[in-house]
A and B are shown apart, each in its own frame.
Chain A
Amino acid sequence: AQSVAQPEDQVNVAEGNPLTVKCTYSVSGNPYLFWYVQYPNRGLQFLLKYITGDNLVKGSYGFEAEFNKSQTSFHLKKPSALVSDSALYFCAVRVGDMRFGAGTRLTVKP
């Protein structure tokens, strides 16, 4: 069955440092992978997606994600974190319906 896993409930980084939020997936066939962010009292906002092509996908707010087929991963990255990046991040895979990971809470400290 298709699924995604986010192994970390919480990620803490200092402002200005690089950040990584991890996601691994399990699907049969080609995965369509997405990252969404949720700020307090807001809905999920689309960040980026991987459909095909270049394994490094660039998205909103300076985020990027690297698709790694051999490791079945789609980690979200940003070279220099901002305090305003603090939020809940969800990885999702779509083969039919959208399946979300459990979410990772990112806290960026000044």
Chain B
Amino acid sequence: EPEVTQTPSHQVTQMGQEVILRCVPISNHLYFYWYRQILGQKVEFLVSFYNNEISEKSEIFDDQFSVERPDGSNFTLKIRSTKLEDSAMYFCASSDRDSLWQDEQFFGPGTRLTVL
């Protein structure tokens, strides 16, 4: 069964450093998403991406964050200058349709980001 994959599973970085989290969505999917989950808290929406553009983003997704689909298979989340409060589990998701918000999303296993 096809699945979303994410690398690395765990990333440790120093505050102020840039990190890139990588995701490989399911191959025929067209809609891509990033979420984060701070330990013990809710899963929070960050951004959605379709047709090489951001379609929606939350207030969390500020100028420190960016997303890219560099090569038709990978979908990346970049954090330019990490802060301690960026420590969280980051989930990538994809969907083959997004008609009126009715379609389920398929999630990767997550990348645990630890900022020291």
Residue positions of A touching B, CB distance < 8 A? 32, 34, 36, 41-46, 49, 51, 90, 92, 94-103
Among B64-72, B73-81, B104-112, the stretch in contact with A? B104-112
Determine if B109 and A43 form an interchain contact, defined as CB atoms under 8 angstroms apart: yes
Q: Which of B6, B91, B101 is close to A96, meaning CB atoms less than 8 Å apart?
A: B101
Interface size on B, residues (CB 8 A): 24
* Pairwise interchain contact B43-A43, C-beta atoms closer than 8 A: no
Chain A: interface secondary structure?
Answer: strand
Best-buried of B41, B44, B101 by chain A (most CB within 10 Å): B101
Cβ B102 vs Cβ A98 within 8 A? no
Asked whether B58 is an interface residue with its Cβ less than 8 Å from the other chain, the reply is yes
Q: Out of A32, A44, A90, which one reaches B101, CB within 8 Å?
A: A32
